[in-house]
Amino acid sequence: MIEAAALKTPDRLVIRNLRVRGIIGINDWERKNRQDILINLTLEVDTSAAVKSDDVEDSLNYRSLTKEVIRFVEASSFNLVEALAEGVAAVCVRDFGATRVRVRVEKPGALRFAESVGVEIDRGSEDF
């Protein structure tokens, strides 16, 4: 018999369309000029303590998380969106304790006739 706790759907914290400027790409001009990068995060977190206490200290502080993701992206210099996404996932899991995270990183206007191009990855604590 499966325990009720094992069937519980995880809580999710969602950050949509975080726009950051960073160095990303393989072309010479991309290595010199910062570009817009869109980041979407869906983090699995346990919110039960925060729900009971209504205290930010018992929650994953999404303002602090967002600031750290921005700092990470602005300080980085990746060739591939895949590598950037992996780094952002590591920040979410290792530094902020998310049990799982889905990270979507997009470069708006990177392809002609496309709104954006990007990658979406899913990582958990077992990956780091």
The token pair that represents 94 in the structure block: 């290792």
Question: Which DSSP state fits 45?
Answer: E
* Letter string b/e over residues 73-102, b meaning 16 or more CB atoms within 10 A of that residue's CB: beebebeebeebbbbbbbbbbeebebebbb
The token pair that represents 9 in the structure block: 């759907």
Q: Cβ contacts of residue 110 below 8 Å, gap of 6+?
A: 25, 116, 117
Among residues 75, 43, 79, which one has the least CA distance to residue 61?
A: 43
Q: Is 67 designated active site?
A: no
Which residues are part of the catalytic machinery?
107
